[in-house]
Amino acid sequence: MAYRIPSVKVLEDSIRRVIREQQSIPSQRRFTELVLEDLHKKNPEYKVGEVRLRRMALHRNLAKVTISYRETKEPSRKGRCPVCCSPTEELHNQTLDDKMVELGVKCTKCPYWTGPRRRVPVRYNFTMFGAIVPETKKKGRYAQWKFA
């Protein structure tokens, strides 16, 4: 079975089209299915993974991602974000005694964060940003008016 990996531009256009049509997609698997359908219209050999789609939607600001979590008994650790693979940073708070207390860890790029116990992403909900304007419409404050 031969397959092809779509370029960043082709994949970005496909994600934009799917998000614009659907407005909200309740799971990562459904999002992948819809994008693959759109990609197969261009070339039936195109394949794309769920992780690549999620990361591209986050890093390119193509969709707003809401994450549902479950909490584990393991302590949280600083490292790579499980959602977008970006570095994480520790959250600190200062007490009244001028001591620093570690509260948890948060991602530098996406909305992922965890407290003292590690949180694992369970479900992703992809929605359209309110600011996404179809390519055919003009942008700007007075775009609907015509000036002579």
Q: Is 136 inside any structural domain?
A: no
Residue 140 falls inside a structural domain = no
Decide: 128 and 134 in contact? Cβ < 8 Å. no
Domain of residue 100 covers 8-127
Is there a domain that residue 38 lies in? yes
β-sheet with 24-25: strand ranges across: 24-25, 117-127, 64-75
Asked if the structure places residue 135 within a domain, the reply is no
Give the total number of structural domains in the chain: 1
pLDDT tier at 75 (50, 70, 90 boundaries)?
A: confident
Residue 38 amino acid letter: D
Report pTM.
0.75
Which pLDDT does position 133 carry in this prediction?
Answer: 46
Q: Is the pLDDT of residue 68 over 80?
A: yes
C-beta separation of 48 from 6 below 8 A: yes
Q: What is the DSSP letter of 80?
A: B
76 pLDDT tier (thresholds 50, 70, 90): confident
CA gap 40, 67 in Å, rounded: 28
